[in-house]
Amino acid sequence: MKLQFVEICGFRGFRERTRFEFPGGFTVLSGRNGAGKSTVLDAIDYALTGTINKFSVKEAKGGGLDDHIWWVGPERPDAYSVSVGFVDDHEETFVVTRTREDGSNVDVSQIVQRLCKNGPGIRASVQTLLQTTLIRDEFIASLSLDLPEQTRFNVVREAIGNLVGPDYSARTTTIVTAANAAKSKQEGRIKELQSELGRLLGQLTEARSDAERSTDISEALRFIESQSISLPADLAERSVALRKIVTDRKAALKEIEQARILALGIVEELAFFRSPQGDAELSRAEQNQASGAE
């Protein structure tokens, strides 16, 4: 049996009747979060089992799972129904329809007989059928975690359906390999994101430093423009010329500082000679000079 179509109306987020046709090969459902990709799988699960098995919590405050399976938004839909169609190698179709009012149109035993190989000759249930065929990404993610040995055993046993019969080790190996590949891919993506985060943090630090220096740079540019300085047009030559001007100015500032220190000493001397004590010293020196001349 191959999945042929899924048709839903008034189911979860779909108010209007919507039909998904599936070709004979692979099918990829693509869309943003909340577009309804998982609802297609939920519809298959609900049509065959009467519930959505991925939700472990069936009852909660404000309404349980049964209160949110069907459309609860405004504008009542035309119907509340889910239909899933299958086709076998002889082009014979098998359709399971479940409505909110009347339930399923097909008995559970008939579903197992039509969808399971060897029909009633195996010990299986619809839940087992879904566990071994409807593999969700949540289940693959659970296998990729570092689970305790007993927990991993239980998860793998659920994957093979607790069936007694053929050896499912190859199937289990495929599932574990896929889980490990998904885990490795996730770890690689995490490393890429960490590297990208480090690069962005470096850029943020540089931008912050530039912002802190922007005031000083602007003031320096305004000062240079206010001076009557002839600078080359080439940016590199202008940078060299500015460095030379800064070096010359620093040397001139050192000489000015030395002159200032000498001037401070002269100021003290001038203050002494202009004082009465200085005048007396000068008078005595003049008198001594005159006496020595006679």
Strand 103-104 vs strand 93-99: parallel, antiparallel, or unpaired?
antiparallel
Which residue has better confidence, 129 or 13? 13
Q: Which residue from 133, 94, 91, 132 is spatially nearest to 113, judged by alpha carbons?
A: 94
Find how far residue 138's CA is from the centre of its chain. 19
> Tokens 């922007």 identify what position?
214
Alpha-carbon distance 125 to 108, whole Å? 8
Mean pLDDT, the chain, integer: 78
Strand partners, 6: 20, 84
Q: What is the pLDDT of residues 38-90, one digit of tens each?
A: 899 999 999 998 888 777 545 545 555 666 789 988 899 999 999 999 998 88
Residue 229: pLDDT over 70: no
pLDDT of residue 271: 74
Which comes out higher in pLDDT, residue 188 or 159? 188
Q: Tokens standing for 106?
A: 């097909």
Is residue 280 within 8 Å of 288, Cβ to Cβ?
A: no
Backbone angles phi, psi at 117, to 5 degrees: -65, 140
pLDDT at 228: 61
Rounded to an integer, what distance in angstroms lies between the CA atom of residue 125 and that of residue 127? Answer: 5
Contacts of 147 (CB under 8 A, 6+ apart): 155
Instruction: Give the chain's end-to-end CA distance (angstroms, integer).
Output: 145
Gap between the Cα atoms of 45 and 138, Å rounded: 15
Q: What is the pLDDT at residue 60?
A: 45
Instruction: Name, of 21-25, 94-98, 206-210, the range with top average pLDDT.
Output: 94-98
> Could you tell me the pLDDT band of residue 263, with boundaries at 50, 70 and 90?
confident
CATH code for the domain defined by 2-134:
3.40.50
Distance CA 152, CA 164 (A): 19
Nearest to 69 by CA among 13, 31, 108: 13
The pLDDT, as a whole number, for residue 17 is 95
pTM to 2 decimals? 0.48
Say if residue 279's pLDDT is above 80.
Answer: no
* Nearest Cα to Cα of residue 163 among 134, 203, 132: 132
Indicate if the pLDDT at residue 212 is higher than 90. no
Residue 16: strand, helix, or coil: coil
Helices (H) and strands (E) in the chain, counts: 8, 5
Each residue of 94-115: pLDDT tens digit? 999 999 999 999 988 888 888 8
Cα–Cα distance, 250 to 39 (Å, whole number):
76
Q: Is the pLDDT of residue 37 over 60?
A: yes
CB-based contacts of 209-215 (< 8 A; 24+ apart in sequence): none
Placement of tokens 């405004």 in the chain: 74
Average pLDDT, stretch 251-260?
83
